Amino acid sequence: MSEEATSGQLQKRLGLPFAIAIMAGSVIGAGILRTPGVVANEVPVFWIAMLLWALGGIYVLLSVNVASELTTALPRAGGIYVPVHEAFGDGMGLLAGWAIWAGYIAGGAALALAFVEFLTVAIPSLQGYTVPLALAAISAVTLLNLLGVEEGRISNIVGLSIKLTLLGSVIVAALIMDPVAATTSPRLPAASPAEAAVGWVALITALQIVLGAYDGWQGPTFFAEEDKDPAHNIPRAFFRSAVIILVVYLGINLCVFTVLDIETLRSSDLPVAIMIESLLGPAGVKVAGVAAAVMALLTLNALSMTHPRILFGMARDGLFLKSALKVNKGGTPWVAMLIGSGLAVPMILSGAYVFVFKIQVATGIFAAVLYNAAYFALRRQRPDMHRPFRAIGHPVLPALILAITVGMFIAVIVADPSGGLWMLALIAICLPVGIHLRRQRKLTEKTA
């Protein structure tokens, strides 16, 4: 193998279109076809549900405000791991890196299974082939991204275009077509007195679901090192993508509330499919199944390209195997990619991704707390650091998003204390490992 393929150097081939595609494409997926019904079940009032989805968009805007400063100041592969490691050292860096990486791998396994689930809606004869088809999906996107960064770049840009075309068509059709099925109510249904009595627990639960639907906005942080001009492209991509996502999410929710009656919306596992059926007739369900399967596969492709950069960043700092630094001629960290995709296989076969998600919820949000705290820590520790983009509204807006993530973390721990115990166990492992690795590096430096 050539030196170019083993040097551990990522290649600067990416630009603004890709940065937008990897963020919007990682967030917008088949989940938005399902989640409006789950949220409406908690808050069956149109304006409250729309407000929650708008608040989710504001949450992303506040998050990318901080991320724009951190990513452009530290444009290295690894995503949110990079500033956490820079600010808090090996222990917390290790925790953040593992939490995010495990979430991406488990998310990929879940998406592969979701792809098959949606596909069987359109092609029922495929039922019974869930695992082989899910493994085939994982293999396909892995092979595509092993070809190189250019293939990943093009596929993600095209993928986002397909998603926006599909969802845009759904929104336009819902707003201009007359329903043909009896699953509808007058446009923009009014809430009944019973529906209007929405409690705080339901509101908080619904908001957590909404914020989960916006997860994945961190995409550009993982590719800053490969961007030709991260100082300009990353902030632009963050804010433009956030607006795109918000518009799409509000549009889909406006449509399902407009076309479907509230009880149908609340009880449906896939409300957008029911909405399309009401517009197109029985064939609408198959159309929705194909669309959802395509969107799930495209999101899986985005995750497949992303997760190797986490291990790459950790390996460069001595927190993972050095072999994860191997980059092929196409610019892909191929060993890191095979490790992640390989781990997804037993998760699919055993269903272990559900357990990983259970652990990752608390640790993932804790990593977000560390990330936002790293903003303030680095402002204090390294005031002279070159910051091409400075967060808007400092210190108020960054403090607000830190407070929000702390609140989310507390809510998750209260709702599921076992997740907090798993997180404490991971901290108990990561801190001493981090201390040991730091000592080993110091000894190596002294003897060098």
Question: pLDDT tens, 273-305?
Answer: 899 988 888 888 899 999 999 999 999 999 999
pLDDT value at 186 more than 60: no
**pLDDT greater at residue 313 or residue 267:** 313
Q: Which pLDDT value is given to residue 187? A: 47
Does residue 226 contact residue 12 with C-beta atoms inside 8 Å?
A: yes
**Dist. CA 229–CA 219, nearest whole Å:** 16
Whether the per-residue pLDDT at 2 is higher than 60: the answer is no
The sign of the dihedral angle between the CA atoms of 73, 80, 113, 344 is positive
Write out pLDDT tens, residues 93-147: 998 998 899 889 989 999 999 999 999 999 999 999 999 999 999 999 999 999 9
- Give residue 348's identity as a one-letter amino acid code: I
What is the pTM for the complete model shown? 0.91
Q: For 364-382, what is each residue's pLDDT tens digit?
A: 889 999 999 999 999 999 9
Residue 122 near residue 358 (C-beta atoms within 8 A): no
Give the whole-angstrom CA distance, residue 184 versus residue 261: 5
For residue 226 the two structure tokens come to 């490969």
The runs of H, that is alpha helices, within 187-282 are: 193-196, 200-213, 230-259, 262-267, 271-280
Higher model confidence: residue 7 or residue 353?
Answer: 353
What pLDDT score was predicted for residue 302?
Answer: 98
DSSP track, 50-109: HHHHHHHHHHHHHHHHHHHHHHHHS--TTTTHHHHHHHHHHHHHHHHHHHHHHHHHHHHH
Distance (Å, rounded) from C-alpha 224 to C-alpha 73? 10
- Token look-up 């076809």 returns 33
pLDDT attached to residue 428: 79
Instruction: For 3-79+105-352, give the CATH class.
Output: mainly alpha
What pLDDT shows up at residue 93? 92
Reported as a pLDDT band with limits 50, 70 and 90, residue 415 is: confident
Domain ranges of the chain: 3-79+105-352
The pLDDT score that the predictor gives to residue 189 is 47
Q: Which residue has the higher pLDDT, 162 or 410?
A: 162
CA dist., res. 184 & res. 141, Å (int)? 38
Lowest pLDDT segment from 15-29, 77-91, 337-351, 421-435: 421-435
Residue 195 pLDDT greater than 60, yes or no: no
d(CA 32, CA 14): 27
Q: Is the pLDDT of residue 5 over 60?
A: no
